[in-house]
Amino acid sequence: MTRVRVEELELHGHRVRYRIGGEGPAIVLIHGIAGSSSTWDAVLPQLARDHTVLAPDLLGHGESAKPRGDYSLGAYASGIRDLMVALGIERATFVGHSLGGGVAMQLAYQFPERLDRLVLVSSGGLGKEVHLMLRLVALPAAEYVMPLLVAEPLRNAGGAVAAFLGRLGLRAGDDLEEIAGGFASLGDVEARQAFVHTARSIIDIEGQRVSARDRLYLAAEVPTLLIWGERDPIIPAKHGREAQREIPHSRLELFPDAGHFPYKSDPQRFVDALSAFIEETEPADVDSEQLRDQLLTRAGR
């Protein structure tokens, strides 16, 4: 199986850690909030057999730097574009999970010339509903409560973080394991600040406040695949169903026994679905005149 390397470089004075491997048409895998590129480990080697696969740790996450700065979707998209340029990757299929789905859509919107296809996995930015756990981060006192949840004594005392998340309704299995691991990664002040700034840029106490729904018609000429777990407790699968109806010619893959991390619950099915989608579709070719016509038609002009 193709070896995937862990490397890093400095961009704009900040360390960026990433996983990379393989040869062929590029796939960029973008993780969710409080996650890291390691979340893709179960699928990276197989995807790298036929593709160049790049999976960065977003700034503020994993082993990348955690500066005081901009943690908006636009800033993340620009950072991935810069990483692609630095590595000589001109175009890619963008695959985004959760927060990463919002980043992937922003990438496609800001830099359409770099987009081959768009794959949204349990994606944010397609509806208002989101789990209470993330809405609570919008509260003013969140910064003061979080250290109690991720403090070293608690993380080493019988899985207190996992127990807390279980009380919030997360089932045992991949969801609980991944999210507990994400919380446990927030042990230092810089990581917690980055997490809070990121969450508050897209979520408030009422739910998700950043939505791409009013622009989905622009994806009419972009090959788009949506993948969701039917039992997703974080972002409901109905967001995927509704988005599939609004994006012309898009595909929807529902994993009946999966939650928020379908690529971990059933990695082989995920690889098969993504590989078939890439093989059966042509890369996007976004035409500026066509884009203009779409915008003006929607504006009634």
Cβ-based neighbour number of residue 301 at 10 Å? 6
The reply to whether 37 belongs to the active site is no
Per-residue confidence (pLDDT) for residue 153, from 0 to 100: 40
Per-residue confidence (pLDDT) for residue 166, from 0 to 100: 59
Per-residue confidence (pLDDT) for residue 156, from 0 to 100: 45
| Whether residue 140 has pLDDT greater than 80 | no
Proportion of the chain above pLDDT 90, given as a percent? 64
Please list the residues that pair with 10 across neighbouring strands.
Answer: 15
The CATH number of 4-129+210-298 is 3.40.50.1820
Cβ neighbors of 192 (< 8 A, separation 6 or more) are 143, 146, 147, 150, 186
Catalytic-labelled residue, pool 201, 260, 265, 266: 260
Q: Give the mean model confidence (pLDDT) for residues 109-123.
A: 95
Q: What are the residue ranges of helices labelled H in 173-234?
A: 174-184, 189-202
The reply to whether 36 belongs to the active site is no
pLDDT band at 154 (very low <50, low <70, confident <90, very high): very low
The residue extents of the domains of the chain are 4-129+210-298, 132-204
Q: Which of 224-228, 264-268, 283-287 has the lowest mean pLDDT?
A: 283-287
Catalytic-labelled residue, pool 98, 123, 201, 265: 98
Higher pLDDT, 210 or 289: 210
Proportion of the chain above pLDDT 70, given as a percent? 85
The reply to whether 232 belongs to the active site is yes
Catalytic-labelled residue, pool 57, 174, 175, 232: 232
pLDDT band at 169 (very low <50, low <70, confident <90, very high): low
Q: Which of 33, 10, 8, 20 is nearest to 179 (CA)?
A: 33
Per-residue confidence (pLDDT) for residue 155, from 0 to 100: 45
Per-residue confidence (pLDDT) for residue 243, from 0 to 100: 96
pLDDT tens by residue, 24-81: 999 999 999 989 999 999 999 999 999 999 999 999 999 999 999 899 999 999 999 9
